[in-house]
């Protein structure tokens, strides 16, 4: 039988209705965790929770807009009420896409930062008392290779993910003496519903974004590939990893 690294642990996952978030919630449940998943998409979230329960896992959840502090606080309160505490927070929810800079509206810019950066601020603030109450708590955030270099046609996304990465590093330092770790996964291309917003257009200068193709793997990663990395960072195996930006891109940025 595979090792169940998260028996007795409570794990809170944002963006759990699809893609990396669904794979993450499912994997943690398979490894013994009690999972509380949230997403703005009710139908997708219901499918995730139903799938975990049908496989014999323990999962609850509710709709939540991570950009809304009241919504986040209600979800965290519900998770603690259901499972008695909180050990791991996985911030997977995110939005983005490709457009020329002059096509992005102020509203799109603000919403991208609200979800990708403020959403993490909100979840950490709400979960913090519970994470600090447990030994060896941890937070794993999902950024992007776009947080590590400029990305043409993705100004809001790349800028917000860079902010998320530095928020992760800052919190890792601030809480290092309080036994609470913060790490970041930086995926390259992943086969998720979000990917449809990053389609190339004929009017793009392709040489500006061709570096996105990984040199070894002709296909994008699957969500489970990233979920496994998230689980590793959340496990005791990674107890000495704090403030890291772990790139998962098949060597694209190498």
* Residues known to be catalytic: 157
Round to whole Å and give the CA distance between 39 and 64: 5
Round to whole Å and give the CA distance between 157 and 143: 10
Which residues contact residue 62 at a Cβ distance below 8 angstroms, ignoring those fewer than 6 apart? Answer: 38, 45, 74, 75, 78
Round to whole Å and give the CA distance between 181 and 195: 29
The phi, psi pair for 143, rounded to 5°, reads -100, -125
The whole-angstrom distance between residue 38's C-alpha and the CA centroid of its chain comes to 12
Round to whole Å and give the CA distance between 43 and 33: 23
Burial 222-252 (b: 16+ CB within 10 A, else e): ebebbbebbbbbbbeebeeebebbbbbbbeb
Contact 155, 104 (CB under 8 A): yes
Round to whole Å and give the CA distance between 59 and 164: 27
Which residues contact residue 188 at a Cβ distance below 8 angstroms, ignoring those fewer than 6 apart? Answer: 144, 145, 212, 214, 220, 221, 247, 248, 249, 250, 252, 253
């Amino acid at each position: 039988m595979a090792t169940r690294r998260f028996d007795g642990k409570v794990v809170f996952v944002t963006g759990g209705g699809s893609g990396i978030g669904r794979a993450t919630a499912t994997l943690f449940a398979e490894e013994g965790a009690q999972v509380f998943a949230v997403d703005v998409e009710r139908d997708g979230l219901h499918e995730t929770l139903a799938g975990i329960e049908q496989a014999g896992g323990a999962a609850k959840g509710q709709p939540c807009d991570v950009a809304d502090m009241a919504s986040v606080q209600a979800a965290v309160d519900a998770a603690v009420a259901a499972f008695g505490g909180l050990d791991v927070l996985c911030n997977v929810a995110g939005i983005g896409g490709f457009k020329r800079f002059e096509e992005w509206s102020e509203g799109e810019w603000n919403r991208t930062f609200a979800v990708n950066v403020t959403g993490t601020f909100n979840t950490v603030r709400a979960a913090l008392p519970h994470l600090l109450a447990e030994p060896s708590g941890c937070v794993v955030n999902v950024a992007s290779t776009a947080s590590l270099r400029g990305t043409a046609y993705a100004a809001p996304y790349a800028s917000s993910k860079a902010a998320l990465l530095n928020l992760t590093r800052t919190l890792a330092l601030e809480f290092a003496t309080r036994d609470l770790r913060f790490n970041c996964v930086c995926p390259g291309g992943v086969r998720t519903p979000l990917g449809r917003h990053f389609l190339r257009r004929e009017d793009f200068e392709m040489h500006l974004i061709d570096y996105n193709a990984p040199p070894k793997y002709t296909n994008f990663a699957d969500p489970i590939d990233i979920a496994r990395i998230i689980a590793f960072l959340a496990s005791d195996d990674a107890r000495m990893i704090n403030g890291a930006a772990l790139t998962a891109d098949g060597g694209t940025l190498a």
